[in-house]
Amino acid sequence: MQDETLVAAVDLGSNSFHMLVARIHAGQVQVVDRMKDMVRLAGGLQEDGYLSEEAIERGLASLTRFGQRLAGMPRGSVRIVGTNTLRAAKNGAEFIRRGEKAIGHPIEIIAGREEARLVYLGVAQSDIPIDGVRLVVDIGGGSTELILGRGTTPDKMESAPIGCVALMREFFSDGVFSASRLARAKTRAELELSPYKGAYLDVGWARAVGSSGTARSLAAVAEANGWGDGSITAEGLAQIHAAVLKAGSLDKLDLAGLSEDRKPVFVGGLIAMQAVFSALEIERMHISDGALREGLVYDWLDRSDHDDIRAATVQRLQHLFTIDMAHADRVARSARMLFGQVADAWDLRSAPDAIEAPRYSVWLEIAARLHEIGLAVSHSGYHHHGAYILNYADMPGLTRAAQTIIASLVHVHRRKMKPQRFEMVEESLRGQVVRLAVVLRLAVLLHRDRSLRSHVPNLKLQAKKQSLSIRFPEGWLEAHPLTAMDLELERGYLEMVDFELEYL
């Protein structure tokens, strides 16, 4: 990335929307502007799983304001991500469509562990350097991220479904705080944390750090009332808990250091933090200025690390699902060879300096290495199983949109090429993804015999918009009748997506 590049990161959280604009100078990030809106998107998530129109309008109004600030920034310099509430909302895609129009830039939805990874990166770059393991806790509106890591590298990441907005809505919707309600809410939060407790305590950590609004507001209230020194302790949380009980209701809650915009979700954040302290036996938590939005900027700043994270994700899934990695390597090599001959004709070259640029070669590579992931479930229809796994797996280093594309490629890498299997892919990319699928299918077809001694011939490809011509060395197809028969079947399969295949 060139010096003086101006970039922006926008975090569409469940409670608040944040925007950070920064300049890259001498390889460092210099913040030049920040904006924040308390949108409380999670508060508008209805029982039927849909966001209310009122909540959508609050979000769109915020994005319109952000859009004015970003109006002069070119596409590719802004990264916008949605988190827990937009992951959960059944009409999340509608919000994204309208939101992109309001802000003028693409919006991604990221998975829980990817959110945790980015939060950790933002905190690690902002916190003091330490020797040993760092625990990062980020309590948002709809989820709580728990991350253990060393330096700037996270080692263990979990996203628990508890948050300040969600707890307020479930236990305190009428604004009344009683001892029994507070106890039930804390028990509920601890139950959600219980699956992670043992593993985290076994690792341990040298420093616990809280990020984002919940941690900062609790630390500010504790310090303002003489119950803390700018960090958070269990004793300080107990003092705040007692003050909440004494107030008895949201209307009467009046604490020094508590801002009006944080007040409606403050008690939910308190309960979530007390549950984290109890489950993980934390004594003291320091506060970081870094969070998800800073992580987004640092993540873009070092793309080589980003590539390493994706590679680690693929390797983890390969081992977890016992994939034949030698065969996957052969398919991936052939896919790269075929891709190299058609990328220009099919406009599949990536723009590496643009944040939202399609990563066609990356998606193809990952799909090739994971195309047999469904075999761990069953050989029958394993492409269906593989697509399901990849749609719902946590895959750090990839956005939800990228996962959807990779899952669709795996879904159509064999048998029928049904157009409806691309319906979840963004419409503007659908044609390109279909062409990637053609490349993957041919790479898999060429290695049908799975032989270690098989040699893919020197193929010559000629690509047009909706057609592909393949020239084999003279006599090769006659010597490989299985491949010739597969190609004839493939010709028919590709006709399902109005694609013409010729070979000779």
Paired with 82 in beta bridges are 12, 109
Closest to 496 (Cα-Cα) out of 428, 420, 411, 426: 420
8 A C-beta contact, residue 86 and residue 109: yes
3-state secondary structure 163-228: CHHHHHHHHCCCCECCHHHHHHHHHHHHHHHHHHHHHHHHHCCCEEEEEHHHHHHHHHHHHHCCCC
Distance CA 382, CA 400 (A): 22
8 A C-beta contact, residue 111 and residue 400: yes
Distance CA 412, CA 383 (A): 7
CB count within 10 Å of CB 429 equals 17
CA dihedral 318, 324, 325, 327 (to 10 degrees): -140
Distance CA 317, CA 369 (A): 10
Tokens of 160: 């628990």
The per-residue pLDDT for 304 is 47
Paired with 286 in beta bridges are 209
The per-residue pLDDT for 224 is 97
What is the per-residue burial (b if ≥16 Cβ within 10 Å, else e) of 263-284?
A: ebbbbbbbbbbbbbbbbbebee
Question: β-strands 153-160, 144-150: how paired?
Answer: antiparallel
The residue written with tokens 């341990």 in the block is 204
CB count within 10 Å of CB 4 equals 10
The per-residue pLDDT for 397 is 76
> 223 to each of 121, 149, 243, 269, how far by Cα in Å?
27, 28, 14, 17
The secondary structure of residue 250, as a DSSP letter, is T
The ranges of the chain with pLDDT < 50 are 1, 304
Element at 306 (helix H, strand E)? helix 303-320
3-state secondary structure 47-97: CCCCECHHHHHHHHHHHHHHHHHHCCCCCCCEEEEECHHHHHCCCHHHHHH
Distance CA 144, CA 158 (A): 8
Distance CA 482, CA 504 (A): 15
The per-residue pLDDT for 272 is 97
Closest to 462 (Cα-Cα) out of 346, 365, 335: 346
The secondary structure of residue 328, as a DSSP letter, is H
Domains annotated on the chain, with CATH: 5-110 (3.30.420.40), 113-291 (3.30.420.150), 302-503 (1.10.3210.10)
Which residues 6+ apart lie within 8 Å of 298 measured at CB?
29, 121, 122, 125, 152
pTM, whole model, 2 decimals? 0.73
The per-residue pLDDT for 27 is 64
> 471 to each of 340, 459, 477, 490, how far by Cα in Å?
15, 6, 10, 15
Please say whether the dihedral angle defined by the alpha carbons of residues 234, 237, 238 and 239, taken in this order, is positive or negative.
Answer: positive
